[in-house]
């Protein structure tokens, strides 16, 4: 017997969207700081031959965050290979900021009934669109965490992510 499924209202979906888009917008600044600390001459750093490079992870985080938002607004998930959005760290952060904000604005314009639409995610799961905002958040935090662990071995500084680091101690603000 299947577990009962919750029933969501358009108002709940809209409130959830507003909360999660706000969280994602707050995380954007932190993610850009992590990406921004990658030294240009160390973009190819990898801790292991089977690991992605720092640059590959940075591009993946930026592209995926934007892709998730645009996919929600388009009400479908369709990944196609995307060209590298930039060739420099500063260029990637500029592209990321602009395109993330555009995608977030598109999601904020969605109606409650649109957010409730159940959409398939590559045959892995089917859920109302608004719930994928949580998936987008944990995906971004996961890969940002990977990237942040590369910084110190590359000789870069680790920014304050959630309350301080050796390089940026917590100041209580």
- What CATH number does the domain containing 23 carry? 1.20.120.450
Q: How far is CA 4 from CA 7, 113, 132, in A?
A: 9, 21, 20
In a domain, 109, yes or no: yes
In a domain, 82, yes or no: yes
In a domain, 164, yes or no: no
> 126 in helix, strand or coil?
strand
Residues in the chain: 173
In a domain, 165, yes or no: no
Range 68-85 average pLDDT: 92
Look at residues 67, 70, 64, 68 and name the one whose alpha carbon lies nearest to residue 132: 68
Instruction: Name the domain count of the chain.
Output: 1
What pLDDT band is residue 170 in, cutting at 50, 70 and 90?
Answer: confident
CA distance 146 to 68: 19
In a domain, 170, yes or no: no
Over 80: is that where the pLDDT of 3 sits?
no
Mean residue pLDDT of the chain comes to: 94
Q: Containing domain of residue 57, as a range?
A: 11-154
In a domain, 6, yes or no: no
Range 96-118 average pLDDT: 98
Q: Residue 89 has what pLDDT?
A: 98
Range 122-138 average pLDDT: 95
């Amino acid at each position: 017997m299947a577990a009962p499924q919750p029933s969501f209202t358009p108002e709940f979906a809209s409130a959830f969207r507003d909360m999660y888009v706000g969280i994602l917008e707050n995380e954007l600044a932190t993610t850009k700081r992590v990406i921004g600390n990658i030294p240009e001459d160390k973009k190819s750093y990898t801790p292991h031959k089977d690991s992605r490079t720092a640059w590959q992870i940075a591009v993946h985080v930026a592209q995926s965050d934007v892709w998730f938002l645009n996919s929600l607004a388009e009400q479908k998930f369709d990944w196609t290979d995307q060209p590298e959005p930039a060739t420099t760290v500063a260029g990637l952060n500029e592209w990321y900021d602009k395109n993330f904000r555009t995608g977030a604005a598109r999601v904020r314009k969605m109606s409650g009934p649109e957010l409730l639409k159940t959409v398939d995610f590559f045959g892995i799961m089917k859920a109302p669109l608004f719930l994928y905002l949580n998936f987008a958040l944990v995906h971004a935090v996961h890969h940002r965490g990977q990237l942040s662990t590369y910084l110190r071995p590359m000789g870069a500084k680790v920014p304050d992510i959630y309350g301080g680091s050796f390089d940026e101690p917590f100041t209580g603000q």
